[in-house]
Amino acid sequence: MNQHTYIRAYLAGIAVPTVVLLGVMTGYCVLRYVYNFPVPVERVIVFPMAVVPNLWGLWNVAFIALRSRWQLNIGLHGALLPFLLAPLGFLVAGLLNFPLPVIVARALPILAPVALIVYYLAWKYLVGFLNRVVALA
């Protein structure tokens, strides 16, 4: 199972956000179309559905490629990813003229550390487990 290391790393990386986004989109569709929840995010949903899993996969490939040079914990490596995703998300929202609610700016000092902790734990336990499953650890 030593062939195609980077493909296995990519697939292990995209597995977690793909499953999470499926759950999030199912909940959003139920809220939006069953309960008529008025949040039209159709313009910006392409970013999390397409870019986020691909970046997780590429980030895991980068971890596997660089682990011989940098002895960085996979959790810390994953906790660095929001520093790339957050500016990209704000950029896409701005380019699409999607107004961010005022509460987002107010909650950012609380949500940013929470996001780092969630990413750390997701990478340490979930992506790390998947890397071991595909014999990358």
Instruction: Encode pLDDT of 63-98 as tens digits.
Output: 999 988 988 899 999 999 999 998 988 888 888 887
pLDDT attached to residue 94? 84
Amino acid at the residue 34: V
Give the domain extent around 50: 5-133
Identify whether the C-beta of residue 58 lies closer than 8 Å to the C-beta of residue 64. Answer: no
Burial class of residue 20 (count of CB atoms within 10 Å of its CB; 0-12, 13-18, 19+): middle
pLDDT attached to residue 43? 66
pLDDT one-digit tens code per residue, 95-129: 888 777 788 788 888 999 999 999 999 999 999 99
From CA 39, how far away is CA 119, in angstroms rounded? Answer: 26
Cβ count near 1 (within 10 Å): 8
pLDDT one-digit tens code per residue, 31-59: 888 988 877 777 677 778 888 999 999 99
Nearest to 114 by CA among 67, 82, 73: 82
Cβ count near 85 (within 10 Å): 18
Instruction: Please report, to the nearest 10 degrees, the dihedral formed by the alpha carbons of residues 85, 86, 92, 95 taken in order.
Output: -140
From CA 41, how far away is CA 112, in angstroms rounded? Answer: 21
Query: Which residues, including other chains, have CB under 8 Å from residue 55's CB and lie 6 or more apart?
Result: 81, 84, 85
Total tally of structural domains belonging to the chain: 1
Please tell me the pTM assigned to this model.
Answer: 0.87
pLDDT attached to residue 19? 94
